[in-house]
Copies of this chain bind each other. A is one copy, B any other.
Amino acid sequence: MTTKTQTVCRGRPCAFNKEETLGKALELFWRNGYEGTSLSDLTKVMGINKPSLYSAFGNKEQLFLQAIDLYEKRPDAFFYPAMEQKTAYLVVQSMLRGAADRMANADHPQGCVTVHGALSCSEASATVKDALVKRRLDGQQALQKRFEQAQQDGDLPQHVDAAILSRYIGTVLQGMSVQANNGASTEDLYAVADMVLQNFPKA
């Protein structure tokens, strides 16, 4: 158990910044998927050798899971932060526009790594696939809870089924991830987002 910044430790100090290195792994997994990324690719991009990678992150699978953790916590994550908007409409607006901005951003791979990381894979990688499915379902459920809260707050009509609405928004977000993979621009995705927002149930 090593802490990220160098704790006062004996022995040779770690020559790389763990979080920064993990970010490079994330970028690679994001672009090429879990099975499309090899350890040689990883060590090359991360700038470390395999034994360093294994001692710092465990193995390929654990490295991936840690990269996904970083993905959801990184500064320009948009999903969970959007949940803090004041009304259901504003939550969805922030979420869809955030998705349009980020998913087609050329500074990093297109789409969402939670969708692209391991949508289909061999049975050997089932653990990773299941972890991503769980992330997606967790996000959807959190959104459902947010909609239920909005109904209590009075900014989302009572007749709306929060489970179905959150599934619908989740569907659009995941579809936008595929669209970004198709080469859709932020502008293209904004148009889709607006279409959803125009029909969003009003209080």
Quick check: is A70 within 8 A (CB to CB) of the other chain?
Answer: no
Q: Are B192 and A179 in contact (CB under 8 A)?
A: no
Interface residues on A, range: 35 or more
Quick check: is A17 within 8 A (CB to CB) of the other chain?
Answer: no
Main SS at interface, chain A: helix
- Given A32-B121, A120-B33, A192 and B174 touching (CB < 8 A)? no
| Residues on B with beta carbons closer than 8 Å to the beta carbon of A36 | 35, 120-122, 125
Quick check: is A149 within 8 A (CB to CB) of the other chain?
Answer: no
Quick check: is A136 within 8 A (CB to CB) of the other chain?
Answer: yes
Quick check: is A172 within 8 A (CB to CB) of the other chain?
Answer: yes
Quick check: is A56 within 8 A (CB to CB) of the other chain?
Answer: no
Quick check: is A199 within 8 A (CB to CB) of the other chain?
Answer: yes
Q: Which of B30, B37, B171 contacts A172 (CB 8 A)?
A: B171
| Residues on B with beta carbons closer than 8 Å to the beta carbon of A168 | 191-192, 195-196
Quick check: is A175 within 8 A (CB to CB) of the other chain?
Answer: yes
Quick check: is A106 within 8 A (CB to CB) of the other chain?
Answer: no
From A19-27, A82-90, A151-159, A182-190, the one touching the partner chain is A182-190
Residue in B closest to A133 when the chains form the complex, CB atoms = B182
Q: Which of B37, B123, B178 contacts A174 (CB 8 A)?
A: B178
For residues 92 through 141 of chain A, which have their beta carbon under 8 Å from a beta carbon of chain B?
115-117, 119-123, 125, 133, 136-137
Q: Are B183 and A167 in contact (CB under 8 A)?
A: no
Chain A contacts to B: CB under 8 angstroms:
30-33, 35-38, 41, 115-117, 119-123, 125, 133, 136-137, 161, 164-165, 167-168, 170-179, 181-184, 188, 191-192, 195-196, 198-199
- Known A115-B119, A119-B178, A178-B178; further 18 A-B contacts with Cβ < 8 A: A30-B120, A32-B121, A35-B35, A35-B36, A36-B121, A36-B122, A41-B122, A116-B120, A120-B181, A136-B178, A137-B183, A164-B192, A165-B195, A167-B191, A170-B179, A171-B179, A172-B175, A173-B175
